[in-house]
């Protein structure tokens, strides 16, 4: 997946990746998606939910979370509080995905294993000629 990000107001790498993934996964999963970036701080339904991206749908019983994803940068992966944040973000029974900068997948896997935190998948992202690629 790749795209050029030129959205007004998105300045950080974190927010660029959050925006890209939210747009792409909303189409792929055919669900509603809410993001948490520097511009948008409106959790999908629960004010305590601090995940970067949440995929959800409205059903007869109300809003139901389908999946969630967290985007990390090189700096946030080095933060000692990151694994604790992941543990607090987890919702039992909801797939949890992680996106990290290219080349840091093994480090993220080690952090998750030591956490212990289980991710459905860990993706890597990078920028080539101004385009963001997610692998």
pLDDT, one tens digit per residue, over 64-110 is: 889 999 999 999 999 999 999 999 988 889 999 999 999 999 999 99
Report pLDDT digits (tens) over 2-24: 444 445 557 788 988 998 899 88
Q: What is the pTM of this model?
A: 0.85
Residue 104 in contact with residue 124, Cβ under 8 Å?
Answer: yes
pLDDT of residue 48: 61
Range of the domain at 86: 2-134
Number of domains, the chain: 1
pLDDT of residue 35: 86
| CATH number of 49's domain | 3.40.1350
First-residue to last-residue Cα distance in the chain: 7
d(CA 46, CA 88): 13
Residue 100 in contact with residue 129, Cβ under 8 Å?
Answer: no
pLDDT of residue 64: 86
Residue 57 in contact with residue 44, Cβ under 8 Å?
Answer: no
Report pLDDT digits (tens) over 38-58: 655 555 555 566 789 999 888
Residue 34 in contact with residue 43, Cβ under 8 Å?
Answer: yes
Of residues 78 and 35, the one with the higher pLDDT is: 78
Instruction: Please state the φ and ψ torsions of residue 13, each to the nearest 5 degrees.
Output: -60, -45
Residue 94 in contact with residue 65, Cβ under 8 Å?
Answer: yes
Report pLDDT digits (tens) over 103-134: 999 999 999 999 899 999 999 999 998 788 99
pLDDT of residue 6: 46
């Amino acid at each position: 997946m790749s795209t050029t990000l030129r959205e007004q107001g998105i300045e950080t790498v974190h927010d660029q990746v959050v925006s890209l993934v939210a747009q792409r996964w909303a189409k792929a999963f055919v669900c509603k998606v809410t993001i948490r970036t520097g511009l948008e701080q409106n959790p999908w339904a629960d004010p305590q939910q601090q995940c970067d991206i949440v995929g959800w749908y409205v059903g007869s019983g109300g809003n139901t979370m389908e999946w969630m994803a967290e985007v990390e940068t090189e700096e946030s992966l080095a933060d000692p509080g990151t694994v604790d944040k992941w543990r607090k973000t987890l919702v039992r029974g909801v797939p949890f995905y992680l996106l990290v900068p290219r080349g840091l997948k093994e480090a993220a896997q080690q952090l998750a294993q030591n956490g212990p935190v289980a991710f459905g998948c860990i993706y890597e992202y990078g920028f080539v000629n101004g385009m963001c690629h997610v692998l």
